[in-house]
Amino acid sequence: MKRIWSKIAIGAAFLGTVLTFTATVQPAEARRICPLVLFKACVLTPTGARMSVATNACLARARHWTILHAGNCQGPNCPFIWAPVCAKPVWSPTAMTFPNLCVAEVHDAVFVHNGPC
């Protein structure tokens, strides 16, 4: 009988430490639990490839993607339409004005707002 109680005590002590450990509050990214609210976005992968995917900011961060803009990817053949956008290239510390969203995407720039910077 004494042996059974010692095993229960060890199990309870172990369970208590596990519950204490898992009860700490952690951000969603640390737990790799992301909401399933998705939107279509053009993303830049760590390998430099651009692709259109259904994602959100949490999933993109977990996969080390950079969201360039919402919607499908447009490049590499861009129209000659003047619709300026302000975007920040991943290789530059400052935002720049691009002739349109497609050209900004081809230069791996993250969309900031419509119009010049």
Sign of the C-alpha dihedral computed for residues 28, 33, 39 and 45 taken in this order: positive
pLDDT score, position 23: 45
Bigger pLDDT: 90 or 11? 90
Strand partners, 42: 52, 69
In a domain, 68, yes or no: yes
Instruction: Give me the percent of the chain exceeding a pLDDT of 90.
Output: 26
Q: What range does the domain containing 101 cover?
A: 28-114
In a domain, 62, yes or no: yes
In 3D, which of 69, 10, 80, 2 has the Cα closest to residue 42? 69
pLDDT score, position 25: 52
In a domain, 2, yes or no: no
Instruction: Domain count for the chain, please give it.
Output: 1
Bigger pLDDT: 61 or 15? 61
In a domain, 51, yes or no: yes
In a domain, 101, yes or no: yes
In a domain, 102, yes or no: yes
pTM beyond 0.85, yes or no: no
83 HSE (CA, 13 A, CB side)? 11
Nearest-Å Rg of the Cα atoms of the chain is: 24
Is there a contact between 96 and 88 (Cβ–Cβ < 8 Å)? yes
DSSP secondary structure letters along 25-90 = ---HHHHT------EEEEEE-TTS-EEEEEE-HHHHHHTT-EEEEES----SS-------EEEEET
In a domain, 16, yes or no: no
Instruction: Give me the percent of the chain exceeding a pLDDT of 70.
Output: 73
**pLDDT class for 109, splitting at 50, 70, 90?**
very high
In a domain, 88, yes or no: yes
Q: What is the pLDDT of residues 3-56, one digit of tens each?
A: 544 444 444 444 444 433 444 554 554 556 788 888 898 898 888 888 888 888
